[in-house]
């Protein structure tokens, strides 16, 4: 899959990728493996920052959607074409193209101000894009926003629950607003409380809840209507690690129950944990998209990481690693050097021999798949959001 391409996401067990030249491929087998093969076969060139620019200047294939829909009669849950939105002088969306197929969790990943929230708010019909087209489950969100609202649930960046009501009262109120009858609203609230593990606290006023409980209740509120598409805008921003994991569990259960989820996040591990498909957004445009493993492949097949005992040894180790892969990166704070390599096992052996010969004090050496941090760095030339690790090119 090419960075900057229009992407159609998983169609059940046969994901289809449409690259920037309009070629479409059905992948068979495990999505991750298939994607890796696909990328290896298609991208003889090394994907990287320069590559993105090429892709972006390529004319967009107008037939991409056609090809997609020929293959699959499934209506995309979200289909955005050339969305633009400007707030004063800030260009929040700059021609964003995104097609998300139903049945998968899609994570929009990007730094602050990348346009994630603007996009989600457009899908939620809270904002009207300046130009472009936007369909939600086949319905034109610009022309028929009221019909789109019948199919979505939104949980924003804040816990939009009423502190002076109990957890149950909050859920029943939203259930009623979704159009449920009182009895149905009660039943839905009971079921949702169970799902978000707040049954025991359902009768307490929300003002006595912890931050994590409020977030879970907020998520629950968007669920009582059992919407087709759940929009989660940075659902775990500002939560402690324990609460994040609990919220992730709740989201995973939902997905298992068949709700389509579009979520935004600045946390790479969150996207990795939850999403079947990740769309990386920067400056209001999609710069890359694919499954987590596809995206990781963009940053090299494998990564060799060396942890040294003494920071003084970092330049030497970096020099050694530059012989086995390209452009090793150094993080002084954690005394680590890592490098992307093509043939992991063989390169690891080479690196170990060379390091042994050089006599550097190595604490730990490992071979692993690249993290999304590294992917983001490769694609944008800067670390992702606030979680990015400080890094830079190896000192030569």
Tokens 């804040």 belong to: 158
Show the site string, 34-73: x = touches another protein by CB under 8 A, - = not: ----------------------------------------
252 binds another protein (CB under 8 A): no
Quote the least distance from Cβ 385 to another protein, whole Å. Answer: 21
Residues in the chain, how many? 396
* CA nearest to 278, candidates 261, 300, 257: 261
DSSP 3-state of 336 = strand
Least distance from C-beta 389 to another protein, angstroms?
31
Question: In terms of DSSP bridges, do strands 229-233 and 260-265 run parallel, antiparallel, or are they unpaired?
Answer: parallel
Task: Give me the least distance between CB of 286 and another protein, in Å please.
Answer: 23
Cα distance between residue 48 and residue 375, in whole Å: 9
Cβ-count burial 348-362 (b if 16+ within 10 Å, e if not): bebbbebbeeeebeb
Which 173-202 residues touch another protein, going by CB under 8 A? 173-174, 176-181, 184, 187-188, 191-192, 195
User: Do 142 and 311 contact (CB within 8 A), yes or no?
Assistant: no
Q: Does 154 bind another protein (CB under 8 A)?
A: yes
Segment interacting with another protein (CB under 8 A) among 11-19, 54-62, 124-132, 379-387? 124-132
Determine the size of the site formed for another protein (CB under 8 A). 55
Residue 395 neighbours by CB distance under 10 Å: 12
Binding mask 82-121 for another protein (x = CB under 8 A): --------------------x------------------x
Q: If we measure between CA atoms, which residue out of 266, 268, 273, 210 comes closest to residue 243?
A: 210
Of 133 and 150, nearer to another protein (C-beta) is 150
Give the footprint of another protein on this chain (CB under 8 A): 102, 121, 124-128, 145-146, 149-165, 169, 173-174, 176-181, 184, 187-188, 191-192, 195, 205, 221-222, 224-229, 231, 257-260
């Amino acid at each position: 899959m090419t960075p900057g391409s229009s992407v159609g996401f998983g169609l059940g067990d046969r994901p289809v990728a449409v690259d920037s030249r309009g070629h479409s491929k059905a992948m068979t087998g495990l999505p991750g493996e298939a994607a890796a093969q696909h990328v290896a076969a298609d991208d003889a060139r090394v994907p990287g920052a320069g590559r993105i620019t090429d892709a972006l200047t390529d004319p967009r294939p107008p037939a991409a959607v056609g090809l997609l829909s020929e293959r699959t009669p499934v209506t995309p849950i979200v289909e955005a074409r050339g969305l633009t939105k400007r707030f004063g002088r800030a260009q929040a969306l700059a021609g964003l193209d995104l097609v998300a197929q139903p049945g998968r969790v899609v994570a929009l990943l990007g730094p602050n101000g990348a346009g994630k929230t603007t996009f989600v708010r457009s899908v939620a019909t809270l904002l009207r894009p300046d130009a472009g087209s936007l369909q939600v489950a086949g319905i034109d969100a610009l022309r028929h926003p009221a019909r789109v609202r019948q199919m979505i649930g939104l949980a924003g960046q804040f816990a939009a629950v009423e502190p002076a009501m109990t957890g149950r009262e909050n859920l029943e109120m939203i259930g009623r607003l979704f159009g449920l009858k009182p009895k149905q609203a009660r039943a839905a609230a009971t079921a949702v409380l169970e799902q978000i593990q707040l049954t025991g606290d359902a009768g307490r006023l929300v003002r006595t809840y912890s931050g994590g409980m409020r977030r879970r209740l907020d998520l629950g509120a968007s669920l009582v209507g059992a919407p087709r598409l759940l929009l989660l805008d940075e659902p775990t921003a500002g939560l402690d690690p324990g609460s994040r994991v609990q919220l992730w569990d709740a989201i995973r259960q939902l997905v298992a129950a068949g709700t389509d989820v579009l979520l935004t996040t600045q946390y790479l591990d969150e996207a990795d944990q939850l999403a079947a498909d990740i769309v990386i957004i920067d400056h209001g445009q999609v710069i890359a998209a694919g499954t987590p493993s596809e995206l990781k492949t963009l940053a090299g097949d494998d990564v060799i990481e060396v942890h040294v005992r003494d920071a003084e040894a970092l330049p030497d180790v970096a020099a050694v690693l530059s012989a086995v892969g390209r452009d090793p990166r150094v993080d002084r704070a954690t005394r680590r050097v890592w490098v992307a390599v093509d043939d992991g096992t063989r390169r690891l052996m080479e690196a170990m021999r060379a390091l042994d010969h050089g006599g550097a004090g190595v604490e730990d050496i490992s071979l692993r798949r690249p993290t999304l941090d590294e992917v983001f760095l490769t694609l944008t030339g800067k670390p992702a959001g606030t979680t990015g690790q400080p890094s830079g090119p190896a000192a030569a």
